[in-house]
Structure 1
Amino acid sequence: MKRFEWIDTLKGIGITLVVASHIYTGEIRYFLGIFSMPLFFFIGGFLYSSKYDNQVYLKRKIVHLIVPYIAFILLLYPIQLITLLPQRQGFSFVDILKLIVNPIIGGTFLWGLTSAFWFTTCFFITQQLANFIIRKVNPKQVIFYIIGLSGLSYLNYLFFKQIFLPQNAHVAIAGTSIFLIGFLYRKLYSERNNSTISISVLFFVLCMTLYSNQTSNLWSWSLLGMDMKRANYGMPVFSLLLAIGLILLLIDISKLLVKYAPLLSKIMGALGQASMSILYLHLAFIYALKGLDSGISYFNLFVFSTALSFIIHSIILKFSFTRAIFLGSYSDFEQIFLTRNNQI
């Protein structure tokens, strides 16, 4: 598959927005919620490749996503229990049982240091659903699956909020629709800048922001914001369209950075390549930094949690074993575990 230089920059912007959404509160968090997580489902669809058969695709994605998920759960969940549980009082047997079962069920039940881990298993399920659909149907029919899956996800959100599945599998319905939108965008993509779309979206967002300032008692970004972890998809149809529009805007910004601000693009690109490590680690550093200095500013919290996560990622990169376990590097995993087992 052709390598797009701006993709890593886009992922870097995306992961910094995710970190920011876990630090900042109020309207900023609501606004970032519209598109920060949908962005990664969209990127997944854009980068999708059908060069592997279903069995190989499944095996590679298990190594790439599920192995690091388990590794980071085993690393951070005990630390979470040791550091955060003393702050709670009055534990019953049921409470203790929940603490044991929560990481197994995953999804919405993940909390504290592992709160963001819901994305990994949901994204894994999304990939498998999307792979099945793309292989089975004509590309022209994909749009109907997008509409159908989006409709199902809104039904879940509006009328069946109490229904949930382990590992946030129900959220994969919405995730798959966004993944397929990214897939279709790749089919239609050209290197020409989509500035018309971006300018239109930016103008709309600015108008809505001005409107919200004038009628703050009537308007809030919370009306549009998504919380995919909890199957909250915002305002039906409108939030999804706004999310896609803002994602297209970020794509244009990423391409402009590559062209006109190469140093900043390289920094964001490096963060993009470390995006999964940052996803797993940033909350641990946020909690740790807050524990060391309860008065730490949001900006410092953002910078240090991102930087420390990146440093750990850089250390993980140095060793084949850690690359296999914590990054899901298939070549390293195959060399260390699969080849060795075959020799035995």
Structure 2
Amino acid sequence: MGEDRRKIKRNAEFRRLYVTLRLRQCRSAIRANSHLPQSMMQCTIAIETEGPGRPISRIQETLTLNLPIRETWLDTAKGLGITLVVMAHVLDHSTWRWAHPIYFSASLFFMPFFFIISGYLFAVTERKALLRKRVQGLLIPYVMFLGAIMASVLVVDFVRGDTPAPWQIRELITDALLGGRHLTRELGVFWFVTCLVATQLVYNEVAIRTSGPTDPGMLIFVGASVGLAYSIQAYWQDLRAPLALTNVPLAIGAFWFGHFLRERGMSALWSAVFVVAVAGVALAAARTGSDFTFSMKNAIFGPPLLGLLVALAISTFILGLVRFMAMPSLRIAPLAEIGAASLVIMFVHQFVHFTLRDFGMSSELALIALSLGLPYLLYRGLRSSRILSPWFIGSGDLALSIQLMRRSLAFRAG
């Protein structure tokens, strides 16, 4: 009788462990596919049980979970966007005669473009849940890549025979803690992540208290934010705020536009009218001498309001083009795959770019290809690791990663 009880207890423990592991796998799948709209996913759990006096039986339980399905056209849009970012950053240091015109054209919209996509994916969320999601999905990878690239920069300097002085290391660490415009060269793109997180948290607070992107309260908030952004450009452009917080007001304008497109939509006709109208006004302003230089990181936003409208209009055109390209008859899977890796490419591409330049590579095509390709391969490797993926790409189960690391360390110690 005692043996039967022990068997029942062992089987109960087995069932609890198995169910826990399968639920964890399902939750990891949900986090890895966090785009809307919602669809249904069935997670089947098979449990083997053995009762006293009867053979092993198999119980199958099916759990139905809400699993968001990825909208691949958004990955395609991100893929195109991150390709333009890499191309622009490489050409910004090129002597090719067409480099500056191409860089200038891309810089008019490529950073607001990512805030628009983020706004398109936005859904009002309970504040603690959103903070937890952003910490795991963005801030932990931010810290991990920041530390990894800082260490890599020091290693490259050592290999080149350029050993940094202690004060240079202290300055590097101080700049890393301050973030934003304090980060340059290999770390220069990291401002985007802290700005994005702050934008999402602030916008969500207002969205909780309003009924949508066209609510009067939301419109007043967005208008005030954009007004503050151009005040910063006019009076405090040289202010290097920690964590790129002075970029948040303009980012809110772009983020709101993405949210508006998702909630209210814009027909092809109205999109065309918007793009043509903004283009006409911008061309007229350019003929009168208006400067459309746009560098979001440096609080240079172009002519008041018109600079932002140009970014929104170009982004509207690009998003419409991408949605057309995403038709089943057109094969653009590689671009969507690059989009899925866009965060890792964002973090790593400048390190690859500057390191290759410092070692003598000067071909723009090779630099662009390698600055995209090497971070993409890194993304594939990180994604396949249950230990590293939660820390570097924000997907997977962080608790499971810690558990696996502990087991690995215990095994090696044993």
- TM-score, length-normalised on structure 2? 0.72
2:180 maps to what in 1? 107
Amino acid at match of 1:106: G
Contact 1:46 1:179 in 2 (8 A): yes
Cα displacement string for residues 229-271 of structure 1 (whole angstroms, at most 9, x for unaligned residues): 111111111111111001110111101111276322x111111
Amino acid at match of 2:254: I
Structure 2 counterparts to residues 243-322 of structure 1, below 5 A: 243-259=311-327, 262-264=330-332, 266-296=333-363, 298-322=364-388
Distance 1:148 1:338 in 2: 47
- Normalized per residue, which structure has more strand? 2
Distance apart, 1:109 and its partner CA: 0.8
Amino acid at match of 1:122: C
2:117 maps to what in 1? 43
Amino acid at match of 2:299: A
Task: Provide closer, same or farther for how the CA distance between residues 211 and 143 of structure 1 changes in structure 2, counting only shifts above 3 A.
Answer: closer
Distance 2:281 2:233 in 1: 28
Structure 2 counterparts to residues 1-344 of structure 1, below 5 A: 1-2=36-37, 3-25=70-92, 26-50=100-124, 52-84=125-157, 95-139=168-212, 140=215, 141-189=217-265, 194=268, 197-198=271-272, 201=275, 223-259=291-327, 262-264=330-332, 266-296=333-363, 298-329=364-395, 331-337=396-402
Distance apart, 1:178 and its partner CA: 1.4
Cα displacement string for residues 57-80 of structure 1 (whole angstroms, at most 9, x for unaligned residues): 101111111100111011110222
Structure 1: gaps of 5 or more residues: none
Distance 1:180 1:84 in 2: 42
After TM superposition, the structure 1 stretch with the greater mean CA deviation from structure 2, 310-319 or 90-99, is: 90-99
Structure 2: gaps of 5 or more residues: 1-35, 38-69, 93-99, 407-414
Task: Provide closer, same or farther for how the CA distance between residues 195 and 335 of structure 1 changes in structure 2, counting only shifts above 3 A.
Answer: farther
Amino acid at match of 2:365: F
Cα displacement string for residues 128-155 of structure 1 (whole angstroms, at most 9, x for unaligned residues): 1111111122321322211110000110
SS of match in other structure, 2:90: coil
Amino acid at match of 1:142: M
SS of match in other structure, 1:236: coil
Distance 1:48 1:295 in 2: 40
Contact 1:15 1:275 in 2 (8 A): yes
Amino acid at match of 2:360: D
Task: Provide closer, same or farther for how the CA distance between residues 181 and 338 of structure 1 changes in structure 2, counting only shifts above 3 A.
Answer: farther
Amino acid at match of 2:294: M
After TM superposition, the structure 1 stretch with the greater mean CA deviation from structure 2, 270-279 or 306-315, is: 306-315
Cα displacement string for residues 256-299 of structure 1 (whole angstroms, at most 9, x for unaligned residues): 111276322x1111111010011011112112322343332x12
Distance 2:388 2:175 in 1: 25
Task: Provide closer, same or farther for how the CA distance between residues 158 and 286 of structure 1 changes in structure 2, counting only shifts above 3 A.
Answer: same
Distance apart, 1:108 and its partner CA: 0.4
Distance apart, 1:170 and its partner CA: 1.6
Distance 2:149 2:405 in 1: 28
Contact 1:157 1:232 in 2 (8 A): yes
Distance apart, 1:11 and its partner CA: 0.7
SS of match in other structure, 2:238: coil
Distance apart, 1:168 and its partner CA: 0.6
- TM-score, length-normalised on structure 1? 0.85
SS of match in other structure, 1:170: helix
Larger radius of gyration: 2
Amino acid at match of 1:159: Y
Which structure has the higher relative contact order (CA within 8 Å, separation 6+)? 1
Contact 1:146 1:178 in 2 (8 A): no
Contact 2:157 2:163 in 1 (8 A): no
Amino acid at match of 2:355: A
**Percent of residue pairs bearing the same amino acid type:** 22
Distance 2:161 2:108 in 1: 32
